[in-house]
Structure 1
Amino acid sequence: MSFSAGRGFPSNRPRRLRRTAALRRAVAETRVHPADLVLPMFVREGLSEPRAIASMPGVMQHTRDSLRKAVVSAVNAGVGGVMIFGVPETRDADGSGADDPNGILNVAIRDIIAEVGDSTVVISDLCLDEFTSHGHCGVLTASGAVDNDATLERYASMALAQAAAGAHVLGASGMMDGQIGHVRGVLDASGDTDTALLAYAAKYASACYGPFRDAVESALEGDRRTYQQDPANATEALREVRLDIAEGADIVMVKPAGPYLDILSRVAAESEVPVAAYQVSGEYAMIEAAAEKGWIDRERMIVESVTSIKRAGAQMICTYWAEELAELLRTGY
């Protein structure tokens, strides 16, 4: 550090560029834009009106009609995309509602496409967990283990149904080995070479998913540690990403976001396709709970947490605050 002649005080003063809000904005290295944001949304079969999710204040299970209106609102706010999860009334061991053209997720996709068309990116959840009676992301063997290869066949059928419904991107979230290659092959063989695949390439077996399981009324028995990643491992995430890209992933995702910013940074440095990150339900719930107690500044924490995800390298950020944050950004927060 250099010093002013004869005074012994520093001449290099980084604080000069922090003195006003305008200066800070002018030199900001990371900027979140509404188009970076994806809003996860839930639609439940059989509802006559939206239903609040107790563990996720401000987030709803939608009816088909309220979902359409909420998507329009998000589009008008400038949000870059929506990610749709379906919650059926009935479930079975094979998750048969997942690829039923009249199943709640597929009809909701058609509803949204009819409402907003290509004005936003519509991402569907390509996984069985919301539809199975046991709550796992795949079908089970007689011994109760998740059958990887049999599950791939179910994913392929789901993919065809979701693509036919009009989804722009299929979010393959099940963490089955070979899921991207198998689904891509089936889509291409059907003549659908345009529907994109978002691979949940580094999805960790995290404790942060608890509120999400409330949102989809999960029937999970046991846990998902045999197919989701071990939180202790980092190199394994890069291997998963490489495999998914080689199999044809158009986008790769790290999930959760906040506890795995180191993984996100490493993936972003290596990936040759766009990188997404999911600020999951537990991250949302913890911030909302602390804010409700008056322990943190809610809006500042929302902006800071999402900015950190962008700074770590995410180009797409799935967050339950997407619409609210888009409004904050638009008004110059």
Structure 2
Amino acid sequence: MIPQHQRNLLHQHQTLSLVQLTKQQRKQQIAANRRKNLSTTAVALYLLRFNVSLQIAVLAIIVNFALAIATFYNGLNALYCAFGMDCIIGVLTSAILIWRFASSKHDHLDTDQNVYLLHETRTIQTTRPSHRPNVQITCPQPNLVDILDSSIEHDPIDHARELWSTFWLGQVMIIAGLGIVIRTVVEIISHVMATAQDDLMKFDQLDYGFDLAVPQITIMEPLYTLAFISLMLNIVLMIFKIIVYIFLGSNSMLIEGINSFISSIFAFVTMISIRNTDSIQCLDQIVSIMFGIFLIIYGGYNMIHTIGETVYQMVKTNSNRAEYQQLV
């Protein structure tokens, strides 16, 4: 993916070359594109310098770990387990992100100096037909853009960690999805057996006058409160993760943002399931199975995509090496 600051600059050149503008409109367009590009570059530099990705991952670990402990403390039925496993997934994926971004060293990015350089500009003379004057385009300081590009996408170690983190995120999702599905199937079987036993007890009561056992009722109100808290916090985390992805182009942060979005949806569905569990039989088990299957599918997609990208990079590297040997 092309980072946002490069897309803005490319769009600026395309606009000037394809659209016929008056002199005043051209100046306004150049000024607007310059302000947008400078703002985008400044945000990306701040995200790198202060390692915002790492701070978001640490915050996500704290939030999800607290929710997981509270969930398993209050109940162990299928919906409780599914929600708790979702929180554990958040902890593990955030730990992978910490491993991913803690290795990214951007101490060479002096924030104060770079912000000062943002105000320094250079002029590009574009070639135009004879009946049109040359157009001057104002761009950020070239060394600043080069620093940003090298920090984002030209570090092979960061690229390798990006691929490995995506692969491990997929594995965690598959394992968690399988655990949720197995746990839910076991609970459904137990529910069917308990229903059959209740029918036998009713028959015995009619014949012999035995007392019926009082069924165990799981209190779902604590889970409703936890789901509401998770919904709010995951929405906030998702917004920050998507912002980091937009400006830095990190695929692992995009996956983590999607994971937070999935957690938000699951928390919302959990709240609906708790409010309607009396009207629809086995609704919490149905929701849990759907969530587990989705995790398995999405985790498998991430693993396959990562393996394909790794094979492509290996083939590309071998091809470049062969071309170099032929030239030598």
Q: TM-score, normalised by structure 1?
A: 0.25
Q: Whose RCO is larger (CA < 8 A, sep 6+)?
A: 2
Q: Which has the higher helix share?
A: 2
Q: TM-score, normalised by structure 2?
A: 0.25
Q: Which has the higher strand share?
A: 1
- Computing the radius of gyration from Cα coordinates, the structure with the larger value is 2
